[in-house]
Chains A and B, each alone.
Chain A
Amino acid sequence: MEVWTYIQLGIAAVFQGPDLFAIAGFGVPVTPIMVLLGFLLGIAVGATPGLAGPMAMAISLPILISIFGFSPDALLPVMGFLIGIMKGATIGGAVPAILFNTPGTPDAYMTTLDGYPMTQAGKARKALKIAHVSSASGDTFSDIVLILCAPFLAVLVESYLDLPEKTALLILSLAFIASVIGNSVGKGLISMGLGLLAVYIGTGEDFYPRLTLGSQTLAQGFPIATAILGVLIIGEVFKSIEDLWHDHRRAQKRPSYTEVGDQHVHRADLRRIAPYIARSAVIGTAIGALPGVGSTLAATLGFTTGSRRHATKSPDATQFGHGAPEGIASTEAANSSVSGANLIPVLSLGIPGNAAAVFLILAADSIGGFNPGPSVFKFTSGSINPELVMAFGLFTIMMLANLFNWTIGGGFMRVVGYMIHIPKHILLPVVLLLTFTAIYVQEARMSAIWFAVGFGVLGYLMRRLGMSPLPFVIAFILGGKLEETARQAFAATGGDAWFLFTNPIAAVFMALAVTVIVFSTRTRKEPAQ
């Protein structure tokens, strides 16, 4: 089977899938509609401070699965919706940042620095348009890199890495994620350790369930949805409710600004911002390809490198932080180009790098029939590899979402500005209710709700202690795989206990894992001194 055949099959899987409804005899396939709905929802969610893309993905996933079921037909519509949300939220986050000086998503913080001054100067609509163009370009660029890189990386991994090396690679990824997320290596490692501890309850290969204290409720282990939604979403809601408690007297009226002058983005404007977009897109893509680093750092790096260049190249123009369109472009291109590249480790290694990727893996896991990892990109002779068709289906979905982004994204973005007016004391209970409903829909037993509340409290405590919950979640997802691969490597090497060190590539990975932790501890200490 040739690559070209798979591309055609992937596109066909998206557009010739089951029909949602028919107009004048022509069936409207369900997947593109789901991508569109997800994309629009994503923009609205991104534009609402207090909500974020991963949150919406988390809540939609169980509901989508209960609608579409576990059949292979379900995969593309569900993934399409989730990818739509992911992409929509990226551009949506810029809306409140520009209009109200409140970033909708954490990585849009840098956008406020130039976006809000432009709004104050009466250029709100122009700022939004620039944000949209930059975001859409960064995103598209990153997707193209993903489509070109993921298959090759996967094939490379599969042909050079044996079971011991794969085990070492998982350990290296966990070490890397624990070290770079959050502001303390120690806390990152604790968070990761807790995640591993939680996932090892009730699992394992023995017939007797481990670490359950004899309880039948724990024998199946914690359902993945309760741990992830609990720590990521419910913990965040608890924390926000507490913040709300502290802040509620400080409510202030938002000033409004009238628009002044020309709001169009002209060819000259595009020429001016293009170099900034290009530079930031490359930065964002490179950062996105590393698991765990995330879009906030990409946005910061994009903004600072753009700022430096701007100060030297055009010292007379409006500088970054004072309402420079280039500032918006640098930030938005950088944070948007993370999302596509972040899927490189997901598709080629099965390792998620951020919260959005976590939910994509979760979707693939729950529905079944598609296991992100090296086995996806196997070009078989004779028969068709259905997972590879799915992979090309996903690429098609991403390009389709980009198309929606370029065509209607900008327009829709300008109408969701009112989402900022939704008060948090109404929003948070709704999110909480939806999350519990989503968990119950998927697990259908009351103990799942209690697990989720428990993980919510854990997530809240972690946030109070300044500990990022993301290493916990990623460890929870990778823990099972790590144990399995390690056991298999041990068995495959004929019971060699030193399999991680006797093999050169595995030994290098292990050395890197230690280096990453030591190095990050050092560099974090220096500024403190």
Chain B
Amino acid sequence: MKLALKTVAAAAFSVVLAASAQADDWTPPGPIKLMIAFAAGGGADTQARLIAEDLEAATGWEFIPEQVTGKGGMNLAMAIKDMPNDGSVIGMVVTETLGYNMRAADAGVSPSDFTGIATTAGFQMGVVSLSSKGWNSFEDVVAAAQAGEELRFGVMSPRLADLAYLLGKAQGVDFNIVSVKGGRAVMNGVNAGDMDLGFMAGIQGKGVAAGDLVNLASALSEPLRQSPDAPTFADLGVEFNSDGAFVFVGPGGMDPEARDALAAAIGTAISTEGTKSNAMITKAFGGPFIQTGDALQQRLQAEYDEAGALLQAASE
């Protein structure tokens, strides 16, 4: 009898131990499908793949990256929505996907249908032109437009197109807003002379440092790190900005344990010096920017709610 009791107690204890170990150390039920909303080979795609590599090395989890591109991340959002929410499927988009794009797409979903896991990096979004244009400040651009020059403004998303329009409106000039796919296309267009100025989200860093390109304004709520003297959108009379970040999301109602384990692993990977993703994010996006848990979920919801105001302002 005693022996039997002891056995039961031991068994019960081991179950408790196992359960607590699981809470500390969540493991995915199998390989994790990593959906990437960006074209293969670009900066954003490289970032996602490097994070996956670092996570594999650090945790032993297995990732299967897959491209689900198009529609400003909405294709990914619609695809991931009904996937299992046990942490076996995650996706990388930008906060804009769950904000402006989701609002504009009007596809019957909202951020509450998704689980925000972690942001990884923000953008150094500037309004950029070739320095050979001779513009030193945004006032020069306005002066050129007022003198009758037709200016082409390159943008890479509908939200940025709205912002460019509002920027022109606030300054009393009209831009011909040309939308292209991805920041690299804006840079190529500006370099080739197809566009006069455009939004670039960090890709301009090297060119600005070399003196080929110039940051005329910061499209963020704060000044650009590289060109702190360039005015922000608020300084230029636009009440909206392009603040945003790369973000990992999962299907709605994800198990908090899985969500937090993934967020912690991603946070550690990108903020540990010497990892591949840390090096890449520091070089291309000015360092990691990590937001997780409920704060992230609230931010996503807020961006979605505020998108209505921007859509409204731009349609006036």
A526 at the interface (CB under 8 A from B): no
B105 at the interface (CB under 8 A from A): yes
Most buried by B among A71, A220, A487, A494: A220
Contacts A375-B188, A383-B210 given; does A208 touch B107 at CB 8 Å: yes
Q: How far is the CA of A487 from the CA of B179 in the complex (A)?
A: 8
Per-position binary interface string of chain B over residues 84-109, scored 1 when its CB falls under 8 Å from any chain A CB and 0 otherwise: 00000000000000000100111100
A424 at the interface (CB under 8 A from B): no
Q: What residues on A are CB-neighbors of B207 within 8 Å?
A: 383
Closest to A445 in B: B66
Q: What residues on A are CB-neighbors of B49 within 8 Å?
A: 70
From B41, B75, B210, A369 is in contact (CB under 8 Å) with B41
B301 at the interface (CB under 8 A from A): no
Q: What residues on A are CB-neighbors of B72 within 8 Å?
A: 207
User: In the complex, are the beta carbons of B191 and A220 less than 8 A apart?
Assistant: no
User: In the complex, are the beta carbons of B176 and A494 less than 8 A apart?
Assistant: yes
A221 at the interface (CB under 8 A from B): yes
Q: How far is the CA of A371 from the CA of B45 in the complex (A)?
A: 16
Q: How far is the CA of A139 from the CA of B247 in the complex (A)?
A: 50
Q: What residues on B are CB-neighbors of A469 within 8 Å?
A: none
User: In the complex, are the beta carbons of A219 and B195 less than 8 A apart?
Assistant: no
Q: Chain A nearest CB: distance from B111 CB in Å?
A: 15
A367 at the interface (CB under 8 A from B): yes
Q: Chain B nearest CB: distance from A126 CB in Å?
A: 48
Closest to B174 in A: A494
From B42, B176, B206, A492 is in contact (CB under 8 Å) with B176
Contacts A158-B192, A382-B210, A487-B179 given; does A368 touch B40 at CB 8 Å: yes
Q: Chain A nearest CB: distance from B163 CB in Å?
A: 15
A488 at the interface (CB under 8 A from B): yes
User: In the complex, are the beta carbons of A492 and B194 less than 8 A apart?
Assistant: yes
User: In the complex, are the beta carbons of B176 and A491 less than 8 A apart?
Assistant: yes
Q: What residues on A are CB-neighbors of B300 within 8 Å?
A: none
Contacts A162-B194, A374-B192, A484-B181 given; does A368 touch B41 at CB 8 Å: yes
Q: Chain A nearest CB: distance from B198 CB in Å?
A: 12
B287 at the interface (CB under 8 A from A): no
Per-position binary interface string of chain A over residues 273-300, scored 1 when its CB falls under 8 Å from any chain B CB and 0 otherwise: 0000000000000000000000000000
The B contact surface, by secondary structure, is mixed
From B79, B150, B176, B188, A216 is in contact (CB under 8 Å) with B79
Q: How far is the CA of A203 from the CA of B39 in the complex (A)?
A: 14
Q: How far is the CA of A378 from the CA of B174 in the complex (A)?
A: 30
User: In the complex, are the beta carbons of B107 and A207 less than 8 A apart?
Assistant: yes
Task: Please provide the chain B residues from 164 to 188 with a CB less than 8 Å away from any CB of chain A in the complex.
Answer: 174, 176-181, 188
A interface size (C-beta, 8 A): 38
Q: What residues on B are CB-neighbors of A163 within 8 Å?
A: 178, 194
User: In the complex, are the beta carbons of A203 and B212 less than 8 A apart?
Assistant: no
Closest to A202 in B: B70
Q: How far is the CA of A371 from the CA of B192 in the complex (A)?
A: 14
User: In the complex, are the beta carbons of B70 and A203 less than 8 A apart?
Assistant: yes
Q: What residues on B are CB-neighbors of A305 within 8 Å?
A: none
Contacts A216-B79, A219-B78 given; does A205 touch B70 at CB 8 Å: no
Closest to A488 in B: B178
Closest to A442 in B: B67
User: In the complex, are the beta carbons of B192 and A219 less than 8 A apart?
Assistant: no
B152 at the interface (CB under 8 A from A): yes
Per-position binary interface string of chain A over residues 367-381, scored 1 when its CB falls under 8 Å from any chain B CB and 0 otherwise: 111010011001011
A515 at the interface (CB under 8 A from B): no
A319 at the interface (CB under 8 A from B): no
Task: Please provide the chain A residues from 404 to 458 with a CB less than 8 Å away from any CB of chain B in the complex.
Answer: 444
Closest to B210 in A: A382
User: In the complex, are the beta carbons of A207 and B191 less than 8 A apart?
Assistant: no
User: In the complex, are the beta carbons of A220 and B75 less than 8 A apart?
Assistant: yes
Per-position binary interface string of chain A over residues 492-516, scored 1 when its CB falls under 8 Å from any chain B CB and 0 otherwise: 1111000000000000000000000
Per-position binary interface string of chain A over residues 75-100, scored 1 when its CB falls under 8 Å from any chain B CB and 0 otherwise: 00000000000000000000000000
Q: Chain A nearest CB: distance from B88 CB in Å?
A: 15
User: In the complex, are the beta carbons of A216 and B105 less than 8 A apart?
Assistant: no
Q: What residues on B are CB-neighbors of A162 within 8 Å?
A: 194
From A219, A380, A488, A495, B71 is in contact (CB under 8 Å) with A219
User: In the complex, are the beta carbons of B212 and A381 less than 8 A apart?
Assistant: yes
Contacts A208-B107, A378-B191 given; does A219 touch B45 at CB 8 Å: no
B219 at the interface (CB under 8 A from A): no
Task: Please provide the chain A residues from 194 to 224 with a CB less than 8 Å away from any CB of chain B in the complex.
Answer: 202-203, 205-209, 216, 219-221
Most buried by A among B39, B45, B46, B176: B176
Q: How far is the CA of A401 from the CA of B152 in the complex (A)?
A: 44
Q: What residues on A are CB-neighbors of B46 within 8 Å?
A: 70-71
Q: What residues on A are CB-neighbors of B107 within 8 Å?
A: 207-208
Q: Chain B nearest CB: distance from A476 CB in Å?
A: 16
A304 at the interface (CB under 8 A from B): no
B74 at the interface (CB under 8 A from A): yes
Q: Chain B nearest CB: distance from A371 CB in Å?
A: 8
Q: Chain A nearest CB: distance from B7 CB in Å?
A: 48
Task: Please provide the chain A residues from 321 to 378 with a CB less than 8 Å away from any CB of chain B in the complex.
Answer: 366-369, 371, 374-375, 378
Q: Chain B nearest CB: distance from A496 CB in Å?
A: 10
Q: What residues on B are CB-neighbors of A220 within 8 Å?
A: 68-70, 75
Q: Chain B nearest CB: distance from A93 CB in Å?
A: 33
Q: How far is the CA of A368 from the CA of B104 in the complex (A)?
A: 29
Task: Please provide the chain B residues from 194 to 219 with a CB less than 8 Å away from any CB of chain A in the complex.
Answer: 194-195, 206-207, 210-212
User: In the complex, are the beta carbons of A209 and B75 less than 8 A apart?
Assistant: yes
Contacts A221-B70, A382-B210 given; does A205 touch B78 at CB 8 Å: no
User: In the complex, are the beta carbons of A382 and B194 less than 8 A apart?
Assistant: no
Q: Chain B nearest CB: distance from A221 CB in Å?
A: 7
Q: What residues on A are CB-neighbors of B42 within 8 Å?
A: 368
User: In the complex, are the beta carbons of A366 and B40 less than 8 A apart?
Assistant: yes
B252 at the interface (CB under 8 A from A): no
Q: How far is the CA of A208 from the CA of B177 in the complex (A)?
A: 21
Contacts A163-B194, A207-B158, A492-B195 given; does A484 touch B180 at CB 8 Å: yes
Closest to A385 in B: B191
Contacts A219-B70, A444-B66 given; does A491 touch B191 at CB 8 Å: no
Q: What residues on A are CB-neighbors of B79 within 8 Å?
A: 216
Contacts A205-B179, A367-B41, A369-B41 given; does A488 touch B78 at CB 8 Å: no
A-B residue pairs in contact (CB < 8 Å), sample of 8: A202-B70, A207-B101, A219-B70, A368-B45, A375-B191, A378-B191, A382-B210, A491-B152
Instruction: With A487-B179, A492-B178 given, name 16 new contacts (CB 8 A).
Output: A70-B49, A72-B41, A202-B70, A207-B72, A208-B71, A208-B106, A371-B188, A375-B191, A381-B212, A382-B210, A382-B212, A488-B178, A491-B178, A492-B194, A492-B195, A494-B174
The 10 closest A-B pairs by CB, nearest first: A368-B41, A207-B105, A491-B178, A382-B210, A70-B40, A488-B178, A375-B188, A492-B152, A494-B176, A492-B178
Binding site for A on B (CB under 8 A): 39-42, 45-46, 49, 64, 66, 68-72, 74-75, 78-79, 101, 104-107, 150, 152, 158, 174, 176-181, 188-189, 191-192, 194-195, 206-207, 210-212
